[in-house]
Structure 1
Amino acid sequence: MVPYTLAIELTPTTLRRLIDCVHADRYAEALEPDRFTLTEMVAHLADWEDLFLDRMRLAHEAPGSTVVVYDEGERAVEKHYSTRDLQHELDVFENRRRDTMDFLNGLSEEEWSKSFLHPQRGPLTIRDQVTMLLGHDLYHLEQASQYLR
C-alpha cells in the first residue's frame, strides 16, 4: 500500500464538489488557449483512468511488457471530449476510479514493485504509476479550481 492512495481515492469527490460550484454555462469555457475546458477535462479523466489501470494490470500480469503511448490532444479529438456530458463523464470517472482503487487495494507490498515499460519514460512500477496518477489528479483539480474565480 502506498500512503497517498487515499488522495487519489478522494479525487472524484473533490472534483464533484468543485464542479458543483461552477455554473453549467461555463463548462465549455476555455480559460487558457492550450488547456481543456472543464467538460473536456472531465472526459479526459474518465477516459485516461482506464489507460492508467490497464497499464498497472499489465505490469501485474505480464511484468516488463511495453505499453502503448497516446497523444492526449489527438485522443481528445478522436473521442470527442468537447461534446460529452460533463455530469455523465464525472460518473464514469468515479466508477473507473473505484475500479482502480479495488485493484490497488488488492495488491501485496511486493506487487507494487511490478513494472511495465513505457517507450518514452522507461520502466515504471505500479507505485510509479500511482505517483503519476496523483500528480495528474492534482494538475486537473487545480485546473478545475480556476473556474471558481
Structure 2
Amino acid sequence: MSLYTSLSERLKTQHLTIEQLVAYISNDKLITPPVPGKWSALDNIAHLARYQKIFTDRIHLILNEDTPVFDRYTGDLDPEFIPFKSMGLRELLDMINTDRTTIIDLLSGLSDTELSRIGVHPKYGRLTILKWAEFFVLHEAHHLFTIFQLVNGAE
C-alpha cells in the first residue's frame, strides 16, 4: 500500500496549476467574489493554503493516535483562516509550494503500515492515510475548478 503513481504525481504537480490559472488575471478579478458572501478566486487559494496545514496536522494525528475522529473542516468557521484571506497571491503561492514539499516528504517517508493507519472522516468514515491523501488532492481539484470558473467567468 504505497503511494501509487497517479496520487504521487498529483501531489507533486497539481498545485502548480493555480499559478497557471491566475496568470494575467487582474487583482480586481482575483479578489472579487461572484456574489456577496461567496469566496473569490483569491479566497479559494487562501483556503487551499490553509487546508494544507490542516491536512498535515491530521496526518500527524493519525500517525500518533489510534483512529482519531475529525470534524468537518469549514474555512469560514476557522479563525486561523482569516489571516490567510488577507495575504497576497505571491505569498499564498509560495506558502502552498513550501507546504506541499512538506506533505510530499511526509507521505513519501511513510511505511505501508503507516499509510494503512486510520482516521475517521465525518462523511466518508474510516479512511487510511492513503485515502486521506486521495481525498486531499480531489478536494484541491474541486477548488482548482472553482478558481478556473471564477477567473474565466463573464466580466
TM-score bracket, shorter-length normalisation:
0.7 to 0.9
The match for 2:126 among 105, 123, 129 is 123
3-state SS of 2:32 partner: coil
Pair 1:48 & 2:47 matched: no
What TM-score does the superposition give when structure 2 sets the normalisation length?
Answer: 0.82
The match for 1:107 among 82, 107, 110 is 110
What TM-score does the superposition give when structure 1 sets the normalisation length?
Answer: 0.85
The amino acid that maps onto 2:86 is T
The match for 1:2 among 1, 4, 7 is 4
Unpaired segments of 5 or more residues in structure 1?
none
The amino acid that maps onto 2:45 is V
CA distance in 1, matches of 2:108, 2:29: 36
Structure 1, 53-62 or 89-98: larger mean CA deviation: 53-62
CA contact (8 A) 2:55 2:136 kept: yes
Query: What is the number of residues matched between the two proteins?
Result: 149
Structure 1, 45-54 or 55-64: larger mean CA deviation: 55-64
Once the two structures are aligned, what percentage of the paired residues are identical? 23
- Report the alpha carbon displacement of residue 55 of structure 1 after superposing the two structures with TM: 0.9
The match for 2:78 among 75, 78, 81 is 75
- Report the alpha carbon displacement of residue 71 of structure 1 after superposing the two structures with TM: 2.4
- The match for 2:87 is 84
CA distance in 1, matches of 2:132, 2:91: 26
CA contact (8 A) 1:59 1:116 kept: yes
- Report the alpha carbon displacement of residue 32 of structure 1 after superposing the two structures with TM: 5.0
CA contact (8 A) 1:67 1:118 kept: yes
RMSD, matched Cα:
2.3
